[in-house]
Amino acid sequence: REAGLPPGPPTVPLLGNLHIFPTEFAQYKFTEWARQYGGIYSLKVGPGTAVVLTDAAAVKELMDKRSGTTVDRPPMYVADLVTGGLNMVLARYTENWRILRRAAHAILTPQASARHLPIQQAEATQLLHDVLVRPKSFYTHIRRYSNSVILSVLYGKRAPRYETPETTAFFKAQHEWELVLEPGATPPVDLIPILKSVPERWAKWKRDCAKTRKLQRDLYFGLFDETKERLARGEENGSYMEEILTRQEEFGMDREITGYLGGVLIEGGSDTTSSYLQTLILALVAYPDAQKKAHEEIDRVVGEHRMPALDDLDSLPYIRAMILETHRYRPVAPLMIPHATLAPEEYNGYIIPQGATIFVNSWGIFHDPALYEDPEDFVPDRYLLTENGTKPGVDGSDLRPNFAFGVGRRICPGIHLAQNSININAMNLLWAFHFDNDTDVNGKPIELDTFDYQRGILTGPHPFQCKITPRTAEKAEIIEREFLEAADTFAKFEFGLSAEDKEFVARSRAHSN
Ligand code: HEM
């Protein structure tokens, strides 16, 4: 470890800390080390350096205030092979990233996101309907919901079923993408560049990259071309890509970069929102007292005879607190997405060298017992006591309510769209259903493992079992009725459906009759 670096675990020659670098659920080991080495420590990864921040003040200073130097991402050859450096999430600080970011920002502002509320609301109604009809499949209903919302927002084309061809193609491409990105799936090409020149016939990982690239391009450019053709026919429905296509020149975007912009937004918008909602349900089952308080609140404010509306949230402080607590309890991105430095930075007497990888350990911060009372428990009430949920008397001002969405110039561009989805669905689900432990054949409750989460940089619970029942017969009727009424909103987004989708749409509406 070079002089001036933050402290960290003892190193060995050549490898540094590489031999002890966690390859899965890194947030847990990183948090353990944070309790030992402090809120800022370093890891030597061969000749490279990674710095782990588990201290809110350091994050605010280095990542938010000095975002100009911490905006980069670490090099990732595999991502370049698959996406040609055009995946906004993983892209280095390049002109292409700036173009992608500007285009995303211009159209995902709070005002622009508000334009997409009708389809989000209609899809959320279908989610309630799907859960009502087939409660056991809630996990896939939620995945369909988030994928359909993002497809509708971006391309004006929805996915009525989990098996809708675009949705199936997306989850297939995404699965392959996650496999190639998994640590250990590829040799350490970023550390040992010579490995990049191994010919494809001896490098399965290169063939996997080529396969993923093809799956992504077939879907992303297929959707892109379809939108272009729809525009040419004069059949606009207000989708994001329509606007991008008409402003392509202004943003300096060619076909290639425009196709990948759509792609990265589907990726960013699908499993993040669904993982969040699955965690919310897991927590409601595991913490029935919190569920009861939320039920009482929504009954008092919204009542029995209508579905919640977005404006209701202003009068629902406990549910607002629950939404924040869900982000804290099981953040979708427990280490955010790694950043990297464009220039050396000095902080608290330590040197962070140029090119260092920076992990923001949001898991470690959110689960710090010095900041939070009983951090391992799901306790929405903490956000009623202080703005950032920290213990009264502890200074939580270095945190912010949208901390789970990232830092500095890389903060999540989908934040407003995501928050609308989360807010609508949290209210809807609580208004409509009871969430309980399922029972086994002997009638014994099946306890949930609240740590049974997926591996990966973005995480959510593995599919789990629970019992979901409508809270009253009247609410079930309202859901059926609202679902039918949403048909008009859906219609604009239902062009070019497969025969199976058309049949499903017709059948589900007839069923509701
Ligand atoms: C629960 C929902 C979501 C959460 C918790 C979430 C969280 C995050 C986090 C932590 C980052 C990394 C920020 C950083 O590096 O500092 C990120 C980046 C990103 N998110 Fe989200 N996100 C969500 C939903 C969405 C949605 C709906 C979209 C698309 C419409 C989206 C698109 C992106 C993109 C493109 C990036 C990369 C930004 C860049 O590197 O410049 N996300 N998100």
Q: What is the 3-state secondary structure (H, E, C) of 199-219?
A: CHHHCHHHHHHHHHHHHHHHH
- Enter the DSSP assignment of 299: H
Share of the chain above pLDDT 70, in %: 99
Residue nearest to atom 17 of ligand 1 (CA): 412
pLDDT of residue 512: 52
Q: Which residues contact 402 (CB under 8 A, 6 or more apart)?
A: 411, 415
The yes-or-no verdict on residue 511 having pLDDT over 80 is no
For ligand 1, the distance from its centroid to the CA atom of residue 283, given in whole angstroms, is 22
In contact, 433 and 466? CB cutoff 8 Å: no
Sign of CA pseudo-dihedral 405, 224, 154, 94: positive
In contact, 352 and 339? CB cutoff 8 Å: no
Nearest residue to 187 (alpha-carbon basis) of 77, 55, 84 = 77
CA dist., res. 113 & res. 485, Å (int): 22
Map residue 436 onto helix, strand or coil.
Answer: strand
Q: What is the 3-state secondary structure (H, E, C) of 25-78?
A: CHHHHHHHHHHHHCCEEEEEECCEEEEEECCHHHHHHHHHHCHHHHCECCCCHH
Nearest residue to 142 (alpha-carbon basis) of 162, 169, 163 = 162
Nearest residue to 419 (alpha-carbon basis) of 272, 212, 258, 213 = 272
Nearest residue to 74 (alpha-carbon basis) of 336, 436, 425 = 336
CA dist., res. 13 & res. 136, Å (int): 53
Residue 510 binned pLDDT confidence (cut-offs 50, 70, 90): confident
The enclosing H or E element of 359 equals: strand 357-360
CA dist., res. 154 & res. 159, Å (int): 12
- The structure tokens listed for 73 are 């991402």
CA dist., res. 214 & res. 202, Å (int): 20
For ligand 1, the distance from its centroid to the CA atom of residue 266, given in whole angstroms, is 11
In contact, 57 and 65? CB cutoff 8 Å: no
Backbone angles phi, psi at 433, to 5 degrees: -130, 160
For ligand 1, the distance from its centroid to the CA atom of residue 147, given in whole angstroms, is 15
> In ligand 1, which atom is closest to the CA atom of 146?
27
- Which of 326, 412, 423 to probe ligand 1 with, by most ligand atoms within 8 A of CB? 412
pLDDT of residue 173: 95
CA dist., res. 27 & res. 25, Å (int): 5
Residue 291 binned pLDDT confidence (cut-offs 50, 70, 90): very high
In contact, 475 and 304? CB cutoff 8 Å: yes
Backbone angles phi, psi at 352, to 5 degrees: -110, 110
In contact, 486 and 132? CB cutoff 8 Å: no
For ligand 1, the distance from its centroid to the CA atom of residue 415, given in whole angstroms, is 7
pLDDT tens digit sequence for 449-504: 999 999 988 999 999 999 999 999 999 999 999 999 999 999 999 988 999 999 99
CA dist., res. 8 & res. 341, Å (int): 19
pLDDT tens digit sequence for 394-451: 999 999 999 999 999 999 999 999 999 999 999 999 999 999 999 999 999 999 999 9
pLDDT tens digit sequence for 53-70: 999 999 999 999 999 999
Say if ligand 1 is within 6 A of residue 268 CB: yes
- The structure tokens listed for 64 are 């938010």
Q: What is the CA radius of gyration of the chain?
A: 23
Say if ligand 1 is within 6 A of residue 414 CB: yes
What average pLDDT does the segment 210-233 reach?
A: 95
> In ligand 1, which atom is closest to the CA atom of 100?
41
Say if ligand 1 is within 6 A of residue 334 CB: no
For ligand 1, the distance from its centroid to the CA atom of residue 451, given in whole angstroms, is 23
Most confident segment among 118-127, 234-243, 244-253: 118-127
pLDDT tens digit sequence for 11-51: 999 999 999 999 889 999 999 999 999 999 999 998 899 99
- The structure tokens listed for 313 are 């949230």
The yes-or-no verdict on residue 513 having pLDDT over 60 is no
Residue nearest to atom 16 of ligand 1 (CA): 406
The yes-or-no verdict on residue 192 having pLDDT over 90 is no
Say if ligand 1 is within 6 A of residue 112 CB: no
pLDDT tens digit sequence for 146-191: 999 999 999 999 999 999 999 999 999 999 999 888 777 788 888 8
pLDDT tens digit sequence for 334-385: 999 999 999 999 999 999 999 999 999 999 999 999 999 999 999 999 999 9
Torsion angle defined by CA atoms of residues 137, 141, 142 and 144, in that order, rounded to the nearest 10 degrees: 140
Q: Helix 165-181 and helix 255-286: axis angle, to 10°?
A: 90
pLDDT of residue 79: 94
Say if ligand 1 is within 6 A of residue 70 CB: no
The yes-or-no verdict on residue 105 having pLDDT over 80 is yes
Q: Which residues contact 390 (CB under 8 A, 6 or more apart)?
A: 371, 372, 382, 396, 399
CA dist., res. 481 & res. 486, Å (int): 9
For residue 412, say whether it is annotated as part of any ligand binding site.
yes
Mean per-residue pLDDT of the chain: 95
In contact, 100 and 261? CB cutoff 8 Å: yes
Q: Which residues contact 10 (CB under 8 A, 6 or more apart)?
A: none
